[in-house]
Structure 1
């Protein structure tokens, strides 16, 4: 199973549509099962740091196989893992994994609104699959 570019673009489109609906400016990243970027978009007016945060949240979600809000960044083990990845993982709410037939194939990360708004937007993206 693999996450296609068409799937990633559909996810991003639905996430951005939700961001438009709720009135925020969002960056959205979709990574594959190995944490490599498949697709990315930054809405006009989204804060600059969101372009770094969205992929970092997605990488954390796919590496740990869970919603990024569930990554306990205070744990010494998590700190070591995060450190070993050279800053690729951002342990903050706003990303969710993508599963196909019970296998993790990627993750979606969003940044630009509140943590909950970021997560809500990427959930709408996942619903588009």
Structure 2
């Protein structure tokens, strides 16, 4: 059984104690590409200008002075970045559902196998 769920943005589904972990390497890469595209856009340099202002604050500016512009830049970049992972095809959806049910199924504890309740 493969941990990989294929698609335009593949991801991995791994069991962990008490649940499952989605490893979204493809989405992470897309978000980084989105941010860099926004920062390096030569037609709209507003994101670059805002980042530069944060990197080179005016003399006497305190970290508290920079907090709001930082939070606004984070919010605006996040608003323009990818956040969806499409899963196409009935087969992939069934496989994802099967894998999640398998991970969620109750499992016996190693020390309890073959023991009877007293």
What TM-score comes out, normalization by structure 1 length? 0.28
Q: Which structure has more strand as a fraction of its residues?
A: 1
Structure having the higher Rg: 2
Q: Which structure has more helix as a fraction of its residues?
A: 2
What TM-score comes out, normalization by structure 2 length? 0.29
